[in-house]
Amino acid sequence: MIILPAIDIIDGSPVRLYQGDYGKKEVVAESVLTTAETFAKTGASWVHMVDLDGAKAGKRINSQLIAETARTISSKVEVGGGIRTMADIEYYLHNGISRVILGTAAIEDPVLLKEAVQKYGNKIAVGLDCKDGYAMGAGWLKGSSMYYTDFAKELEKIGVSTVIFTDISKDGTLSGPNFAMLAELQKSTNMNIIASGGIRDITHIQKLTEMGLYGAICGKSIYAGSLSLKEALAEGEGKC
């Protein structure tokens, strides 16, 4: 299982939110680039980055900083937030990004999603962000009528190979991922599943690894010191 340390960005700085609430923002480091370099030097094969300003505004805002970081570090980078057009996707893929995550666009623009998957295959992932079991978009500010497993099945039909699952109620809480929903998602599809939100310590990494998930995104736990990235990498990727 790959471990993806996370860098969420607002106003050019690494931050963490609590349950997706922009009003509960905590700046967790001084520099996006320095933080990413630290993750890479620790041995992370991937870094997960989110343009939170972009997610809220519906357009790329921190993309230049993200691209510069991706070109600088040795780790692969996946990016989400504010990616709404083929031009957005191509900007990132042509500027050092290895995988682009569609969230709101996957919900609101299935034509774009199909076109992107047909053209770029496994370089396209979908962020499956849920509240009370239903998919959310627009930086977690806008709901939908799609139940998460139904949405996942539709994504698989389109050809999506990787989904990043977040139970928003768990995000930033360190209370553990929603293991039950993750297990249900595993039963519903054959896609690569990346767990995100709520991971606190190595016991959560161990459980996710035992479930056979493709990946786990760790953010607040690393910044808070409750999870050692080095230990998580040894547990997750050491047992691939």
pLDDT single digits (tens) 36-70: 999 999 999 999 999 999 999 999 999 999 999 99
Cite the DSSP H helix spans in 4-159.
Answer: 32-42, 52-57, 63-72, 86-93, 104-108, 110-120, 148-158
Contact assessment for residue 79 and residue 97, using Cβ atoms and an 8 Å cutoff: yes
What tokens were used for 112?
Answer: 């774009």
pLDDT in tens, 165-192: 999 888 778 889 999 999 999 999 999 9
Q: Of 65-69, 115-119, 144-148, 183-187, which range is least confident? A: 144-148
Q: 115, 86 in Cβ contact below 8 A?
A: yes
State residue 23's pLDDT score.
85
For residue 233, pLDDT over 80 is answered with yes
Q: How far apart are CA 32 and CA 77, in angstroms?
A: 13
Mean pLDDT of the chain: 93
**Which residue from 159, 168, 151 is spatially nearest to 113, judged by alpha carbons?**
159
pLDDT of residue 98: 98
3-state secondary structure of 162: strand
For residue 105, the Cα-to-chain-centroid distance in whole angstroms is 15
**How would you classify residue 225: left for phi > 0, otherwise alpha for psi between -120 and 50, otherwise beta?**
left
Which residue in the list 53, 129, 167, 171 is annotated as catalytic?
Answer: 129
Quick one: pLDDT band at residue 17, thresholds 50, 70, 90? confident
Question: Which pLDDT score, from 0 to 100, does residue 18 have?
Answer: 80
Q: How many residues does the chain have?
A: 240
d(CA 152, CA 158): 10
Averaged pLDDT for residues 123-152: 81
Please identify which of the residues 8, 51, 88, 171 carries the catalytic annotation: 8
Task: Please work out, in degrees rounded to the nearest 5, the angle formed at the alpha carbon of residue 129 by the alpha carbons of 35 and 206.
Answer: 60
Judged by average pLDDT, the poorest of 27-41, 124-138, 147-161 is 124-138
Confidence of residue 132 (pLDDT cuts 50, 70, 90): confident
Residue-level pLDDT at 144: 62
Spatial separation of the C-alpha atoms in residues 139 and 129, rounded to whole Å: 9
Known active-site residue 201: no
- Summarize pLDDT for 190-220 with one digit per residue, the tens: 999 999 999 999 999 999 999 999 999 999 9
